[in-house]
Amino acid sequence: MDEITQSVREDGETLPLIITPKNGRNSVDFLEGWISKNASYLKEKIREHGAVLFRGFEIDKPHDFERIVLRYQPELSTEYRGTSPRSLQPGTNAVFSASELPYFYPLGQHIEMSFLPAPPKEIFFCCLIPPSSVGGETTLCDFAKVYRDLDPDVRRRFEEKGVMYVRNHTRLDRLLTIDPTMMKGWEATFGSSDKAFVENECRKHNVDFHWSGPKNDNIKMIHREAAIQHHPETNVPVWFNHIQVFNMQMVSSYMRHHCARAKSLFFYFAYVCLLLLTWLGGFIKPHDLGFTTLYGDGTVVPKEDVKHIDDAIRKNLVFNRWQKGDAIMIDNFRISHGRQPFRGKRKVVVSWSKPFLKPKAFSDCC
């Protein structure tokens, strides 16, 4: 390991482990070779720390990022069933824009595609243009620690009931909506305009679906999942659901805290707008929102429990300021990620591994 330096943050936080080059060995060719030779060691460090950040290497293009990720994980997935708009990067086979949601909109902490029966086991990000303003971090949070810090009664209710996901999609993307979770149409979500294909995908993932609307081209998808998972390798219990993402109470909390950091009139204005959206969203039935997370029995999670979850996440939240060329590899069965609002330019790209079946199904616990 004489060719690289390993360290943790100056404040002692061990998420992520930081790897930097020695003696000018910062080329993509060098990093590609190092990862190829040390893939097993790297896997061990990702499990130990939750994530490994490569910093100081000359990663300038999406293709450079794809080269190094493929040396660690030769099988990347191009299947995406999330709700954030994203697009394949030119010159790559499996590198996408991280999210194309409006820059002022905060993305809550989440384990990628945790609402699916088989999410990716690992996820990879790279910063090609770092944000110039306050914010824009891809925040990390250890969801094993979040599970640990939750009140036992809150944990018990989720363990006993599980979670219900309700997703509503129109046919086409919607740029103007009071519900930001409804921006992405089902054609973009499934990568197909064929209803039969969409229906088969729903059946494959045990998702109930119903078509509605004047042209019968709006789809409502409902399915249930366990709220807690045990890590497939360490067996550590992990908070593993999407309630903290598609909940307007959470979104306004993220923006309120960002306003305190940024001290910007622009973000205060955006916060007021989000509060208005939250108020308007209160008039929409939960089952009609773009994406709603409920208890597995269909009942609404109390606001005080949502706030408690938010507090547990915020207690363990890690802010890592992006630098140009940063590439991070994350254990997606333990470490969540989110996005802080920002202004100006910022470009972060993402890849993820093949789907991995969750250890626990809804029927195992609920």
Q: Which region among 40-54, 275-289, 315-329 has the lowest average model confidence (pLDDT)?
A: 275-289
50 near 140, Cβ under 8 Å? yes
Q: Give mean pLDDT, residues 266-279.
A: 61
The span from the CA of 325 to the CA of 130, in Å, is 9
Task: Return the bridge partners of 52, or none.
Answer: 17, 329
Instruction: Please state which of the ranges 68-82, 164-178, 284-298 shows the lowest mean pLDDT.
Output: 164-178
Amino acid 45: pLDDT: 97
pLDDT at 364: 82
- pLDDT cut 70: percent of the chain above it: 83
| Between 222 and 192, residue with greater pLDDT | 222
- pLDDT for the residue 288: 65
| CA neighbor of 339 nearest in space, from 10, 84, 167, 153 | 84
Residue 272 clears pLDDT 70, i.e. is over it: no
Mean pLDDT of the 66-84 span: 87
Q: What is the pLDDT of residue 144?
A: 98
For the entire predicted model, the pTM comes to 0.88
Q: Specify the DSSP element, H or E, that contains 64.
A: helix 62-72
Tell me the residue type at 361: A
- Pick 151 or 25 by higher pLDDT: 151
Sheet holding 335-339, edge to edge: 107-110, 335-339, 140-142, 317-318
CB neighbourhood size of 11 (10 A): 6
Q: Which residues pair with 160 in a beta bridge?
A: none
Per-residue model confidence as pLDDT tens digits over 101-140: 777 778 889 999 998 889 999 999 999 999 988 889 999 9
In the predicted structure, residue 244 carries a pLDDT above the cut 90: no
pLDDT value of residue 176: 47
111: helix, coil or strand?
coil
pLDDT at 36 over 90: yes
Q: Which amino acid makes up residue 176?
A: L
Burial (Cβ within 10 Å: 0-12, 13-18, ≥19) of residue 234 = middle
Comparing CA positions, the residue from 20, 90, 85, 65 lying closest to residue 352 is 65
In order of their start, the domains of the chain are 4-101+117-131+321-365 (3.60.130.10)
Phi and psi at residue 165, in whole multiples of 5°? Answer: -105, 130
pLDDT over 90 at 156, yes or no: yes
Q: Determine the average pLDDT of the residues in 236-263.
A: 75
Run of H or E residues at 266: helix 265-281
Mean pLDDT of 20-42: 94
The better pLDDT of the pair 287, 76 is held by 76
Mean pLDDT of the chain: 87
Q: What is the mean pLDDT of residues 214-223?
A: 90
Per-residue pLDDT, averaged over 195-202, amounts to: 92
pLDDT band at 343 (very low <50, low <70, confident <90, very high): confident
State the Rg of the chain over Cα. Answer: 20
pLDDT at 220: 93
Q: Region 26-39: what's the mean pLDDT?
A: 95
**pLDDT confidence tier of residue 298, bands split at 50, 70 and 90:** very high
Work out the number of other CB atoms within 10 angstroms of the CB of residue 213. 11
Q: So what's the pLDDT on residue 215?
A: 86
- Mean per-residue pLDDT for 219-231? 94
